[in-house]
């Protein structure tokens, strides 16, 4: 397996819209395994393919305490089943070191395909519902910082640009 480099805000490649996955082959399985390894290595709970510069509709998530419940969502779609919003302090592997409160619908129903292409459905609430919505946003080129004020977003952008210059 291998670790993949994660794109960081404000990289414009994070703004690309991902295309549906149509081929379920060995190559896709290797990509999924590498995404899990990359996510666990970075202490993340969710990673969208967009974040590793692969513009396919694919997410990996593990919100479990023991990091033993990997979930793969391919071509995910969700509907809101509880319009009530809940607030969560979100972060993102593509926005390292920054966290802020975002409001999203509390309960969703997700339809997706698994790594073999088998369709499945599940209902989600709590942190899993937050994480799925956050990761599906990535596939649309959207980041959690887009929900913050432009002042906050600019502040984060400037700090990260400074970090990137230092390490360049």
Tell me which residues are annotated as active site.
135
Binding of residue 92 to Co ion (CB under 5 A): yes
CB of 68 to ligand QAP, least distance (A): 16
CB of 94 to ligand QAP, least distance (A): 9
- Footprint of ligand QAP on this chain (CB under 6 A)? 42-46, 88, 90-93, 96-97, 127, 130-131, 134
Please report which helix (H) or strand (E) contains residue 96, including its range. Answer: none
Binding of residue 145 to Co ion (CB under 5 A): no
Binding of residue 136 to Co ion (CB under 5 A): no
Binding of residue 58 to Co ion (CB under 5 A): no
Q: Please, what's the b/e burial string for 120-150 (b: 16 or more CB within 10 A of its CB; e: otherwise)?
A: eeeebeeebbbbbbbbbbbbebbbbbebbee
Rounded Cα distance between 103 and 146, Å, is 12
Binding of residue 35 to Co ion (CB under 5 A): no
For residues 39 and 119, the answer to whether their CB atoms sit within 8 Å is: no
**Cα-based distances in Å from 81 to 107, 108, 144, 159:** 6, 5, 21, 37
User: Which option in ligand QAP, Co ion, none does residue 5 bind, with CB closer than 5 to 8 A by kind?
Assistant: none
Which range, of 17-25, 33-41, 80-88, 92-100, touches Co ion by CB under 5 A? 92-100
């Amino acid at each position: 397996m291998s670790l993949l480099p994660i794109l960081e805000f404000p990289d414009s490649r994070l703004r690309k819209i991902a295309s549906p996955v149509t081929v379920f082959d060995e190559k896709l399985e290797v990509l999924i395994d590498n995404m899990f390894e990359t996510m666990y290595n970075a202490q993340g709970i969710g990673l969208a393919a967009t974040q590793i510069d692969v513009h396919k509709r694919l997410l990996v998530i593990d919100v479990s305490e023991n990091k033993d419940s990997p979930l793969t969502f391919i071509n995910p779609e969700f509907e809101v089943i509880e319009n009530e919003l809940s607030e969560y302090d979100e972060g993102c592997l593509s926005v390292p070191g920054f966290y802020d409160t975002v409001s999203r619908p509390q309960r969703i129903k997700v339809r997706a395909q698994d790594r073999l292409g088998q369709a499945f459905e599940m209902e989600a609430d709590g942190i899993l519902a937050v994480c799925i919505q956050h990761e599906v946003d990535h596939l649309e080129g959207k980041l959690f910082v887009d929900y913050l004020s432009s002042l906050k977003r600019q502040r984060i952008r400037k700090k990260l640009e400074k970090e990137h210059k230092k390490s360049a």
